[in-house]
Amino acid sequence: MALSEREQRLLDEMERGFYQSEADVMQTVSASRRRVNYRSLVLGIIVVLIGVGVLVGGVAAQQLWLGLIGFAVMLGGVMLMFRRGPEPSIESELSAGAKSGGGEGAAARSSLSERMERRWDERMGGER
């Protein structure tokens, strides 16, 4: 069964929108990946080892407060280990959006679901 001209146009528009949104998602995913900060990783490992030492010292001395301090130091070291590199600057995100031919400022920052909902509402509003 052949599609009418209007249905074919609508299908082509949906396909173009899908490819554009897919490119936006891939760009967002690649921009959100940051490099591992090796300095924080090594410093975190050292802090965890110091925390283990304090914890073992607290247990050996039978001092609960010293063991709790050691545990807190270990927890801080783990948090430091998993800290990522610096966030990409806003200027680099805006220039990346301008290079990719991104839309308006507010529309370019909206989430994929918000953009898709807005497009759907625009399409449905035109048919009523």
Whether residue 125 is predicted with pLDDT greater than 80 in this model: the reply is: no
Instruction: State the pLDDT confidence band at 71, using cuts at 50, 70 and 90.
Output: very high
Report yes or no: 82 and 118 within 8 Å, Cβ to Cβ. no
Number of other CB atoms surrounding residue 48 within 10 Å: 19
Which is more confident, 7 or 52? 52
3-state SS class at 86: coil
The predicted model scores a pTM of 0.44
Instruction: Report the pLDDT averaged over residues 97-109.
Output: 52
